[in-house]
Amino acid sequence: PAGPAMIATGAALSGLKDRRPEWKPWLAVIEEVVREAEMGRWDAAVPAFPHAPDRRAPLLADSTIAVPVSLARRLLERLIRTATRGGTAKMATLERLAPAHLEVTALFKASLCHEIDRVAEAAAAAGVNEEALQAAVALLALPFLQACNRQHAAGLSESWIEAYCPVCGSWPAFAEVRGIERTRHFRCGRCGGAWHAQALSCPYCSMSEHDQLVALVPEQGSSHAVIDACKRCLGYVKTFATLQGCAPGAVMLEDLASVDLDVAALEQGYMRPAGAECPLDVSVIEAAEPRGFFPWSR
């Protein structure tokens, strides 16, 4: 049976489909990743970390990850197949790919570590649209990352003081100001993690001078949303007032649903850094495939 987090994620996806029908082709791809993450197939791939991360390095930094290649390949095949059905010209080029011949382990690492150059090389070699392949590969590691968050994040967030994710090192997708206590938390759009955020401080350059920090409220925006921006580094983070944090699987969806705030920030000259602040530098190897008569199913 579906738990509260799964129900909340499903509701967020359904709401996004209703509000953005023009996004239907891409949301179909997102739905494949959401479904995969909820099924728990990647839990066994999460390494057993001997100790918590140090003050600056996230949990996955310098780790060795044994990837179940058949599971990763099936997910990649579904992402590509769903993308090509969407009808957009860029995504249609992915029909030329032969997933059975792709270096899935290398692409999984590229997804995990934001190695866009590696994906660009794969796109050029296959003669497909690079933007389309980058978008699909970026989703490949998300079910694994959310499994890492489920198993380990609870013991990390209390002591973590950095502005990037304690699990995967990514910059926050947005911040939440929760409840009547107005405690501030960052959220990761990849693993779904949550961790304490310092108030009145830029997460990117640590600026804390009040005259260098601004709050932008779009004219047509929601009353519970604001854009916190820094005049020094021109970075920004979306901030939402909420009673409680959204479900881990819904963070990526809430980030997409608030794209109007991103557009407003860009129009004012502010940008959100891409990728991760802390390189993971992981080693990715192939896991031993389980023996038996029943392969991984959908």
* Tens of pLDDT, residues 202-237: 999 999 999 999 999 877 656 689 999 999 999 999
Q: List Cα–Cα distances, 292 to 94, 289, 295, 296, in angstroms.
A: 32, 9, 8, 10
DSSP one-letter code for 271: B
Tokens of 205: 């350059």
First to last CA, the chain: 17
Tell me the pTM: 0.90
Tokens standing for residue 154: 């609870």
Separation CA 29–CA 100 (nearest Å):
19
120 three-class SS: helix
Distance CA 132, CA 221 (A): 30
User: Three-state DSSP class for 125?
Assistant: helix
Tens digits of residue pLDDT in 267-290? 999 999 877 767 788 899 998 765
> Which pLDDT tens digit goes with each residue over 232-255?
999 999 999 999 899 999 999 999
